Amino acid sequence: KAGVTQTPRYLIKTRGQQVTLSCSPISGHRSVSWYQQTPGQGLQFLFEYFSETQRNKGNFPGRFSGRQFSNSRSEMNVSTLELGDSALYLCASSSGLGDYEQYFGPGTRLTVT
Amino acid sequence: GDSVTQMEGPVTLSEEAFLTINCTYTATGYPSLFWYVQYPGEGLQLLLKATKADDKGSNKGFEATYRKETTSFHLEKGSVQVSDSAVYFCALALYNFNKFYFGSGTKLNVKP
């Protein structure tokens, strides 16, 4: 079974730009969660999608948004990038049906200059 | 609010030493508890889990017991190896496991 894949793995953007990150979950999984990992704040939950609907949301500004497609693939978008958005963005997939094992992808390293 | 607190790192040990990484939590309701491990350049991997009080999770020589009375889930290993060098995250899950809270991570360095 293929694992969770994230593209791109590395990204460099300029302040004010926007960025879209992609996550393909494990086949059969319907839930995708997104996390931001920084040295200062650790791992912070962004949001979770299940069957194309946002089911849970963390405490991030509206510049951070996401969506999920019918094939469970998910995208995360950050608009008007700030220097503080530089982080490793991780996505995790699970069946979403009451189990609790999340499988993480390798992450996308975003650098904002 | 709901949160996880784990000991600051880095923790440096010699091979075959005993490991303890402390983790305590604050949660409404009855959370499930987890330890994840992150190796350099990789995502997180589930190491072990416990879903109710007094459960003991174990994997690859690592153990942790869900202690409701002390709201703790400390990670232990009797004899660490160089290959155990990684960052370890304690986490809790609420609301049918759809929302996770992670600790800040503890970096473990094991020297030969």
Q: Quick one: pLDDT band at residue A30, thresholds 50, 70, 90?
A: very high
In this prediction, residues A91-100 reach a mean pLDDT of 79
pLDDT number for residue B97: 53
CA neighbor of A68 nearest in space, from A102, A32, A101: A32
pLDDT number for residue B41: 80
CA neighbor of A74 nearest in space, from A16, A19, A34, A15: A34
Inter-chain contact A98–B97, Cβ cutoff 8 Å?
Answer: yes
Q: Which of A45, A106, A107 sits opposite B100 (nearest CB)?
A: A45
pLDDT number for residue A100: 67
Inter-chain contact B98–A56, Cβ cutoff 8 Å?
Answer: yes
Give the tens place of pLDDT for each residue, B21-69: 999 999 888 889 999 999 988 889 999 999 889 999 999 999 999 999 9
pLDDT number for residue B101: 87
In this prediction, residues B9-17 reach a mean pLDDT of 95
User: How far apart are alpha carbons B55 and A44 in whole angstroms?
Assistant: 26
For tokens 């009080």, the residue is B53
Chain A residues touching B32 at Cβ < 8 A: 100
Inter-chain contact B46–A101, Cβ cutoff 8 Å?
Answer: yes
User: How far apart are alpha carbons B6 and B91 in whole angstroms?
Assistant: 10
User: How far apart are alpha carbons B40 and A11 in whole angstroms?
Assistant: 18
Give the tens place of pLDDT for each residue, B60-105: 999 999 999 999 999 999 999 999 999 999 999 876 556 788 999 9
SS3 sequence of A40-84: CCEEEEEEEEECCEEEEECCCCCCEEEEECCCCCEEEEECCCCHH
Which of A91-100, B11-20, B73-82 has the least mean pLDDT? A91-100
Phi-psi region of B96 (alpha: psi -120 to 50; beta: other; left: phi over 0): left
pLDDT number for residue B78: 97
Q: Quick one: pLDDT band at residue A106, thresholds 50, 70, 90?
A: very high
Q: Which of B41, B97, B102 sits opposite A100 (nearest CB)?
A: B97
